[in-house]
Structure 1
Amino acid sequence: MPSIYIINPAAEHASYYGFEVLDEADGGYVSVADLTTATLAGFVPEGWDIRLTDEAISPVDLDAQVDFVAITGKVSQRGRMIALAEGFRARGRTVLIGGPFASLSPQDMRPHADILVTGEIEEIADELFADLAAGRWQNQYNGGFADIRKSPIPRWDLYPVDRAQSGALQTTRGCPFNCEFCDVIQYQGRKQRHKDTDQILRELDQLHAVGFRSIFIVDDNFTVHRSWARAVLLELAAWNAARGDERVSFITQASLDIARDTEMLVLCREAGFKMFFMGVETINEASLREAGKRQNLIQPMHQAIDAIVGHGIGVHAGIILGFDHDSVDTFEEMRQFLQDSPLPEVAVGVLTAPQGTDLYHRLEREGRIDGPIWTSAIQGPFATNIVPALMPREDLVARTVELARYCFEPNSFEQRIMNFLAKFPASHVSTPRRTARARDPRSHMLPKILRYISSLGEAEELMVRTVLKAGAQKPGALPSILYFLSHYAQSRFYLDMDRGQLAKPGILPAPVNA
């Protein structure tokens, strides 16, 4: 029978969004299970032998005896994608490369793939796998923007779900906004496409069956299409209510303009949403206009964030420094804004210009692009390929690092937790948790996270005790506080680590020699 090995390579650096803080000698952990590999496995026809590896969890088997190797990845995985591709090709394997980076930079991946797959796979899967089985494949396939209702139920039975804190579900692709720096709209488009509700519920059933009680809806803007989102939220609420004490909590990505829609916030809360990841980006209004982020200008930012938290939903904020209107004064203004806000979890980074974005094209015309995006991506959030307008690049990076480190000082973090609790509604009730947690293979994650934070020093240990004690006064806020603490642990792990030691010892295989 034909055989395929599907791989999600390791990123080339630790980050805010990994879970390296939990890594052990026998394998790693991820904050969110990898949806791409599990979904691709769902497209593989019956009768094929399928292997799957998420390299953040376990090493790739370079000597796997398979017919085809399928590699996917983002810009932060570029180097590892190439290394693995060349290693497998040297061993006589036929290599397919696809995913976001291949779609955005096909000319970069083309030399390293026997078969290059760009765009989305739903419309071309049947042809692709038929060609592979027949041994008469093309050297490139382009799926374009697909009808995602054709997407299969992901093969979570092939994925190490016990090593992921949250499951993953996609209900839409595409975002109608046109943020200048965003590359997602370049490979997913600005017209949002939706799955059927029945399809979404079947995926939820499967995620629930394999044990997930936290699910990340990975859509880039889940709530932007209001009428569709309302209908889905009602179904999610009914589905979750039927789970009894086995209900799940949801996390998703949304934009700040949801704050003016009280009905939508209520529906999100009733469906079980505990957290939104939001691109807050900056409080500099000129920078928001420059970036095309007008949805953040609809109402005062502090008012919008307060409204969301006031409905019992936390905000995980993305913060960017280095817009053309950002001066040295912007850093102190941002620091003060954050410390006055109910935003415990912030991902602070420097503006970059991904290839294909409007920002890249503008700065290229202005002669302000310095190197390809992957040279910055492999260094994490504190590197950039742009030449800033109002300060030297070294100054921009140094000040951004300083702000990030300040945000995760225990006293600073504790203050923002207290701000969060002050805004969180006292009447909100947390999602019931099942009593037999000892049977959950993820049950050890939280104690390990809390021990790690406490081991960082007396101030960190006191911070943990203080915020948990304060959170007990508003039990509905505890799931959000635990989320914030888990991401605090990873953020501190990343910010405290030696910048030259970014690989995960014991997890990644030795460098591949093609």
Structure 2
Amino acid sequence: MKNMLRKGTKCLIVQSKFSSLSFWNYIDVCEITGAKYPAAPLGLLTVAALLPQQWEFKLVDENVEPLLPEHFEWADIVCLGGMLPQQPSMISIIEKAHYHGCPVVVGGPDPTSQPELYNSADYLVLGEGEVTIPLFLEDLEKGATSGMYKSEDRADMTIAVVPRFDLIRFQDYIMVGVQYSRGCPFNCEFCDIIELYGRKPRTKTSEQIIKELQYLYELGHRGHIDFVDDNFIGNKKNVKRVLPLIKEWSEEHKYPYYFSTESSINMTDDEELMQMMKDVDFRYVFVGIETPDDEILKLTNKRQNINKPITEAVDKIYSYGMVVNGGFILGFDNETDQTAGKMIDCIQDSGICVAMVGKMYALPNTQLTRRLQREGRLFESSSTLEGNAHLDQMTSGLNFVTTRPRLEVLEDYIKIIKNIYDPKNFYERIKYTGLHLKPSNKYRPSFSKILKSLNAFSKVSMKAGFSKTTGGLYWKTLVNVLLKNPKGVEAAVNMAAMFIHFEKQSEFIIDLTKEEIKSVMSFGENEFNESMFAEA
């Protein structure tokens, strides 16, 4: 075997493909903006920075370019990693790499949760790469041709490396990610983040974040940066330390960026924090709302959301200039025939346009999965994915025996998707968001960026403004927001662009769910459940 640690070892890093039918893979919007995919593969860019820097790296993101035989012919070693929806494509890449004689290193959330599914890989580097990649490299130096590397230790974020942002083309992506923290202080039963990264949020130092922003600036990136943290405000004390420094740096560099992130809804309890986020131009925040029903929240241990009137909380976030994208889940144990209606009203009344409604999925190694196993309700083979039925939380899910009839849950799911992605209802929410949003946009685009934005606006106007289903709604909403709250127009146009994707994607989800209903009906519910247990 070659000495892999030598200078010049050629390392091919592969981001496997996500389906174009996934909720988050808004290809239509990418085409409008001139990009190829929403977000750059931050995890793999971090891996590249953790590997020997005397190596030569080539990153191929299958979402923006094809993975070709010559890539494998170039490589001495192949590295890949990913999440549950990428499972089939990752396993396929392992086979391709072996066909070309390349050893394969695999890591990331799904291999960490289900390493047995990736036994065909030569090296399994599990958990947090900052801890386990050094173990892998130590073994590689000894000439090891295979191995599994794992540790219960957590990475020290204060010594985290700067990702290799130089390996990507910024024009291929709508946004570039930066990670400030890992872990979440809460204890939601269904969440795998606290299992993977712990309940004590660990953050980088303020200086590290400034260093990453500066590196991106020097490489030429301008525009959207997404803080990919699962809960950006998990450690409020440290967040309040870094935001003033980001503001100072942004002022010195004439605000080259605007930001988005994910946060728990208790951000609304801290108006000082929201003002600090507004001051550095945070424009979008994803909030895990899950359900408006407090009794369901208690059962699933999402206590931070209890006694939080959703519309009131969302309005408060709008008042600080941030558009709220919301995550919702159907399929909790103590739902009723009123659940769907409550969820529809919650989404509509709060004006949340980007509402990700998924079916409950018992992820590997979560409290929920362990409880369902104890209760004899989990379909054990459910985390082995095949075909188009498992692209994201909207197509997979209910991988267990539900407490209310499965058909009822599936029919409610169709009801919700039909309602919230009905053009009239969606544009009502665009209008609500546009009128209630109070942005203070500080990002200063270059002249070329302005021209690019104008071109994107013209494309949205052509697609949405002259569509049979949305034409009248688009122009009426645009004029309404323009006259009453001009600062909300940019967000309104962005949401109209998103509907171009959601209109297609929701039709796909409805058709897929109807097929699932047919399958359950053809078996009968009890027989369907028995057949799922038999597959284990």
TM-score (norm. length: structure 2)? 0.85
Other-structure match for 1:269: 278
Q: Which amino acid aligns with 1:85?
A: I
Q: Render the CA deviation track for 1:109-159: whole Å, top value 9, x for unaligned.
A: 2x2210001011113434534544664355112254211233222222211
Q: Render the CA deviation track for 1:150-200: whole Å, top value 9, x for unaligned.
A: 322222221132111011000000111111111111111111111111111
Asked whether 1:411 is paired with 2:424, we answer yes
Any idea what SS the aligned residue of 2:470 has? helix
Asked whether 1:239 is paired with 2:246, we answer no
Matches within 5 A, 1:284-323: 284-323=293-332
Asked whether 1:36 is paired with 2:50, we answer no
Q: Which amino acid aligns with 1:104?
A: S
Asked whether 1:218 is paired with 2:228, we answer yes
Of 390, 403, 413 in structure 2, the residue corresponding to residue 389 of structure 1 is 403
Asked whether 1:88 is paired with 2:97, we answer yes
Any idea what SS the aligned residue of 2:25 has? coil
Per-residue deviation, 1:28: 7.4
Summarize the Cα distance change of 1:187–1:448 in structure 2 as closer, same or farther, 3 Å threshold.
farther
Of 337, 341, 344 in structure 1, the residue corresponding to residue 350 of structure 2 is 341
Asked whether 1:372 is paired with 2:382, we answer yes
Asked whether 1:469 is paired with 2:479, we answer yes
Other-structure match for 2:507: 496
Other-structure match for 2:521: none
Matches within 5 A, 1:119-198: 119-129=127-137, 131-132=139-140, 135-136=143-144, 138-143=146-151, 144-198=153-207
Other-structure match for 1:228: 238
Summarize the Cα distance change of 1:380–1:62 in structure 2 as closer, same or farther, 3 Å threshold.
farther
Deviates more, 1:477-486 or 1:31-40: 477-486
Any idea what SS the aligned residue of 1:323 has? coil
The alignment covers a number of residue pairs equal to: 492
Any idea what SS the aligned residue of 1:50 has? strand
Per-residue deviation, 1:23: 6.8
Any idea what SS the aligned residue of 1:419 has? helix
Summarize the Cα distance change of 1:311–1:28 in structure 2 as closer, same or farther, 3 Å threshold.
closer
Q: Distance in 2 between matches of 1:492 and 1:414?
A: 12
Whether contact under 8 Å (1:13, 1:379) holds in the other structure is: no
Whether contact under 8 Å (2:125, 2:150) holds in the other structure is: yes
Any idea what SS the aligned residue of 1:16 has? coil
Whether contact under 8 Å (1:14, 1:380) holds in the other structure is: no
Q: Distance in 1 between matches of 2:253 and 2:227?
A: 18
Any idea what SS the aligned residue of 1:337 has? helix
Whether contact under 8 Å (2:22, 2:392) holds in the other structure is: no
Asked whether 1:327 is paired with 2:336, we answer yes
Structure 2 unaligned spans of 5+: 1-7, 513-536
Any idea what SS the aligned residue of 2:14 has? strand
Summarize the Cα distance change of 1:259–1:139 in structure 2 as closer, same or farther, 3 Å threshold.
same
Any idea what SS the aligned residue of 2:362 has? coil
Other-structure match for 1:460: 470
Whether contact under 8 Å (1:327, 1:391) holds in the other structure is: no
Q: Which amino acid aligns with 1:220?
A: D
Whether contact under 8 Å (2:430, 2:496) holds in the other structure is: no
Other-structure match for 1:207: 216
Any idea what SS the aligned residue of 1:458 has? coil
Percent of residue pairs identical: 26
Whether contact under 8 Å (1:99, 1:118) holds in the other structure is: yes
Q: Which amino acid aligns with 1:82?
A: I
Whether contact under 8 Å (1:116, 1:141) holds in the other structure is: yes
Q: Distance in 1 between matches of 2:300 and 2:432?
A: 29
Whether contact under 8 Å (1:257, 1:298) holds in the other structure is: no
Any idea what SS the aligned residue of 1:249 has? strand
Summarize the Cα distance change of 1:186–1:444 in structure 2 as closer, same or farther, 3 Å threshold.
farther
Q: Render the CA deviation track for 1:360-400: whole Å, top value 9, x for unaligned.
A: 111122222234234463475133212221222x3322321
Whether contact under 8 Å (2:281, 2:443) holds in the other structure is: no
Per-residue deviation, 1:439: 8.4
Q: Which amino acid aligns with 1:16?
A: F
Asked whether 1:117 is paired with 2:125, we answer yes
Q: Distance in 1 between matches of 2:95 and 2:245?
A: 46
Any idea what SS the aligned residue of 1:14 has? coil
Other-structure match for 1:46: 53
Q: Distance in 2 between matches of 1:374 and 1:471?
A: 46
Summarize the Cα distance change of 1:158–1:340 in structure 2 as closer, same or farther, 3 Å threshold.
same
Alpha-carbon RMSD across the aligned residues, in angstroms, is: 2.5
Q: Which has the higher contact order (CA 8 A, sep 6+)?
A: 1
Q: Distance in 2 between matches of 1:134 and 1:100?
A: 27
Q: Which amino acid aligns with 2:150?
A: N
Per-residue deviation, 1:15: 1.4
Q: Distance in 2 between matches of 1:353 and 1:467?
A: 39
Other-structure match for 1:508: none
Any idea what SS the aligned residue of 2:79 has? strand
Q: Distance in 2 between matches of 1:409 and 1:147?
A: 46
Q: Distance in 1 between matches of 2:400 and 2:124?
A: 29
Q: Which amino acid aligns with 1:339?
A: Q
Per-residue deviation, 1:438: 5.0
Any idea what SS the aligned residue of 2:395 has? coil
Q: Which amino acid aligns with 2:236?
A: R
